[in-house]
Amino acid sequence: MKKLLSLILAMTLLIGASAMAEALPAETLFTPGTYEAEAQGFGGMVQVTVTVAENEITDVTIVGEMETPALGGVAVGTMGEAIVKAQTPHVDGVSGATVTSAAIIAAATEALEAAGADIALLDEYRRDESEDVVKEEKTIETEIVIIGAGGAGMTAAIMAQQAGKDFVILEKMPYVGGNTTKATGGMNAAETLYQKEQGVEDSVELFAQDTMVGGHNINDPDLVNTLAAKSAEAIDWLDSIGADLPKISFSGGASTNRIHAPADGSAVGNYLVDKFSEKLKELGVEVMLNTKATELMVENGQVVGVKAEGPDAYYTIKSKAVILASGGFGANLEMIADYRPDLQGTVTTNAPGATGDGIVMAQAVGAALVDIEQIQLHPTVEQSTSMLITESVRGDGAILVNQNGERFTNELLTRDAVSAAELAQEGQYAYIIFDQHLRDNLKAIEKYVTNGLTVQGDTIEALAEQLNIPPETLAKTLADWNEAVATQNDAQFGRTTGMNENLTVAPYYAIQVAPGIHHTMGGVKINTSAEVINTEGNAIPGLFAAGEVTGGVHGGNRLGGNAVADIVIFGRIAAESAVEFVSK
Ligand code: ADP
């Protein structure tokens, strides 16, 4: 029976997929109807509803309201159609949204099995693979090309549209946002309307000074002064497009309350990406998704366009100016290993599009690079999922122990120092340890628990046993720590913050963590007008850059709140300079 079915299927594939349902009158793949199943996604459960006819998956509906809109949300929005097209649940997931993608595949498989499907047979005769897309050659003429639709690119696009320019914006991923979606804190800015309203004293000079000190004074002072001087007007501009950041608080390395966040305290990255997307939509700008810039075109020393590849065409895009806003290279582990052999094998927290394409393309046309080896590590990254365990866990009182169950550092030193301390431990990892009380008070932890990252024990000894740590050592470490909290004196490592609560409420939890690549500070050299500078020190006519693709703003260490400042402030400058250049 199976053999006959396979034969009929093979024949129908030959005569074309659309004829398939008619060609199988006598045999059935499914029991017609609608079937549902669910699986654990990134933020919550993902529900998949599959409708099947006798020989066809006719509809797949996916609901995953808790998934991150810019990542898992893309999987929720696109994978149903892909399953219908392929006629199997085993379709490609969305890169960067592996947990959600896996949940969708699992739930769709379960629903189809409930419909009586033989999944292996569906895989054998999947339909989408047999289609060979022949890509056309297309030429576009425009004034400006923006490469990358993260924070810097979308800022530049809004500005270019407001200036009435003709432009295209390319994004190689199926979604916008890039690494910008990962920003949680806010945007540093000085002498802002909000600071004045709220009685916060600050100055452009102090902001610049803090940024230089934070960057170990290797930053480009002119870029830093520009960042600080243009920060207040960037906050006003965000207001003007409906992306207000009125909530001010303190962030590491700042002399005063300078970090500006959304009113409801939500993560700044997703907030801005949503607001920018809404604004672009309102302005009628369409981002060319799944379209990767591959090369900068140069004529007589001037950048005159971009070569790109989209899902169904190779593009030659002729333009008067190009803005590189393609982000850093934190997800390009080969490039990381080239510039920093010591970081070989380190996992990354970066969005998958952060592969340094802009740096490579700019270098090919003579651009100089600065501080390219300056890479920031984050010390608490769960390695199997690359999920970043927020600093708040330590800030709220968690400790780090090694495989012997011993603390080895002040857990709240700078990211680089804690990372270095972890790397000095045997196995180059640590466990972050906390209790039920801490879990109850920190919403972020639920996500770690539902994703299976935590190990749990009813007593500290039980937890130690599960981790293969000597129970008596971990118990003593906890007792010593609780004593340090009680006396507010960490004699061992001199920790003074994150000591308001002890760790005494069972059950106890651990997450195994190690450092992960977080931000690439170096990149393409620019001047204060965001013009790209060549290796001889001259501006390359027609080429501008902004955001993580550039180097010099952050020096040897980026302060929290300065990545968002960088993309908005220099994204605006790059657009202004490009608009002026093409208007000449
Ligand atoms: P920034 O913070 O500087 O804006 P992001 O990482 O947020 O940087 O955004 C950079 C965007 O550029 C990402 O969405 C990334 O996928 C995209 N990108 C990277 N390389 C290319 C490329 N070659 N062509 C088109 N888009 C690219």
Check whether residue 77 and residue 103 sit in a common domain. Answer: yes
Residue that terminates a domain, selected from 516, 547, 562: 516
Find all residues with CB under 8 Å of 88, minimum gap 6, and list them: 119, 122, 123, 126
Q: How far, in Å, CA of 267 to CA of 132, rounded? A: 42
What are the contacts of 217-220 at 24+ separation with CB within 8 A?
217/555, 218/371, 218/374, 218/555, 218/556, 219/552, 219/553, 219/554, 219/555, 219/556, 220/370, 220/552, 220/553, 220/555
- Please tell me which residue in 415, 439, 495, 572 is annotated as part of the active site: 415
Check whether residue 504 and residue 535 sit in a common domain. Answer: no
The atom number, within ligand 1, closest to the CA of 352 reads 16
Look up residue 93 and give its DSSP letter. Answer: -
Residue that terminates a domain, selected from 467, 495, 516: 516
Does this model's pTM top 0.85?
no
Q: How far, in Å, CA of 543 to CA of 204, rounded? A: 28
Check whether residue 142 and residue 285 sit in a common domain. Answer: yes
Check whether residue 280 and residue 318 sit in a common domain. Answer: yes
Task: Count how many domains the chain has.
Answer: 3
Check whether residue 493 and residue 358 sit in a common domain. Answer: no
Structure tokens at 329: 């290279």
Decide if 206 is inside a domain.
no
CA of 207 from ligand 1 middle (Å) equals: 27
Tens digits of pLDDT across the chain (584 residues): 333 333 333 333 333 333 343 344 346 789 999 999 999 888 788 999 999 988 899 999 999 887 776 678 888 888 999 999 989 999 988 877 888 898 999 999 999 999 998 888 888 877 765 556 789 999 999 999 999 999 999 999 999 999 999 999 999 998 899 999 888 889 999 999 999 999 999 999 999 999 999 999 999 999 999 999 999 999 999 999 999 999 998 887 889 999 999 998 788 998 999 999 999 999 999 999 999 999 999 999 999 999 999 989 999 999 999 999 999 999 999 999 999 998 988 889 898 899 999 999 999 999 999 999 999 999 999 998 888 888 888 988 999 999 999 999 999 887 888 999 999 999 999 999 999 999 998 877 888 998 899 999 999 999 999 999 999 999 999 999 999 999 999 999 999 888 999 999 999 999 999 999 999 999 999 999 999 999 999 999 999 999 999 999 999 999 989 999 999 999 999 999 999 999 99
Check whether residue 490 and residue 529 sit in a common domain. Answer: no
Q: Give the domain CATH number at 364.
A: 3.50.50.60
Residue that terminates a domain, selected from 491, 516, 541: 516
Find all residues with CB under 8 Å of 219, minimum gap 6, and list them: 211, 212, 552, 553, 554, 555, 556
Check whether residue 380 and residue 368 sit in a common domain. Answer: no
Secondary structure (3-state) at 135? coil
Among protein residues, the one whose CA lies closest to atom 19 of ligand 1: 326
Check whether residue 500 and residue 441 sit in a common domain. Answer: yes
Check whether residue 422 and residue 502 sit in a common domain. Answer: yes
Q: How far, in Å, CA of 332 to CA of 523, rounded? A: 13
Per the structure, the complete domain to which residue 464 belongs is given by 376-516
CA of 558 from ligand 1 middle (Å) equals: 19
Check whether residue 475 and residue 380 sit in a common domain. Answer: yes
Query: Is 394 a catalytic site residue?
Result: no
Among protein residues, the one whose CA lies closest to atom 17 of ligand 1: 148
Q: Give the domain CATH number at 113.
A: 3.90.1010.20
